[in-house]
Amino acid sequence: MGGVSALSRDEIDLANLDDLSTLLTIAAPDVIVNAAAYTAVDKAEADELAAQKVNAEAVGVLAAYAQSKGKLLVHYSTDYVFDGEKATPYLEDDSANPQSAYGRSKYAGEQAILESACNALIFRTTWVFSTHGNNFVKTILRLAKEKESLNVVSDQVGAPTSARLIADVTASAIAAYHAKTLKGGIYHLTAAGETSWHGLALHTVTRAHANGAVLKLNARQINAVPTEAYPLPARRPHNSRLDTGLLSRALNLNFPDWKDDVDQVIDQMLRSETSI
């Protein structure tokens, strides 16, 4: 079995489609896992062409390579392909209706893969967090040290999903695909359960206090506010819940509750203050 090559943003610019094609020819991968994306949701409203270049056109290049060589493309998408108005969790075959430039670019990426007819696994996920990079859990821990009160949106609901869970399920899915027990296509991949951004903030601060963290902020000082009180350029889905039953049944996996990995990440970050 061949090795794994993980390229950083400095090593490949997905906006340079010619360089991307050259890289694929040289590297000749058996499996392409595309975890890169233009994720500046608000910035994309004023620069949709840049978002489309990375999230759709570059994905089309990856799909074309996979199709021509008979290789597998694994790609990550988002709940932003939906409008967030459904009352229940979204199924894979629900109609897409993206309401932001970012959502439109990610949906275009999905379509590029499907139109290529390449071998592909497309995983839609939500509210991703980890100990690395910028994410909501890290932001709340930082603000809890600086502020004595905080307003957090309470009418957007989803499932916080750890990068580790996504990686673990992806590995299982690739193995199942090669064993012919998982078909290619679109699947929803999130942790179990649901909460709001306000609920996630409450849980994060409460967990941090239970671990002895010295914070200015406590849970009682986190105020629930509606989306309209915190206007942003890009529209956020009110309902980011994705039904994961299709993937869960196919892999015979029960996805863990979102709190499990959130707690683990909080505990890890508190043990290493430089990570916050």
100, 235 contact by CB (below 8 A): yes
Rounded Cα gap, residues 87 and 125, in angstroms: 18
3-state class of 183 per DSSP? coil
Rounded Cα gap, residues 106 and 78, in angstroms: 7
CA angle 31, 36, 37 (to 5 degrees): 135
Closest CA to 122 of 256, 42, 16, 32: 32
3-state class of 273 per DSSP? helix
In the chain, the amino acid numbered 82 is F
Dihedral over alpha carbons 7, 8, 11, 15 (to 10 degrees):
100
72, 31 contact by CB (below 8 A): yes
Tokens of 67: 């199709």
Burial class (CB in 10 A: 0-12, 13-18, 19+), 139: middle
Which residue is listed with tokens 């998982």? 182
102 catalytic, yes or no? yes
Candidate list 76, 102, 107, 187, residue with the active-site label: 102
Rounded Cα gap, residues 97 and 94, in angstroms: 9
Closest CA to 67 of 113, 121, 35, 28: 113
- As annotated, the active-site residues are 102
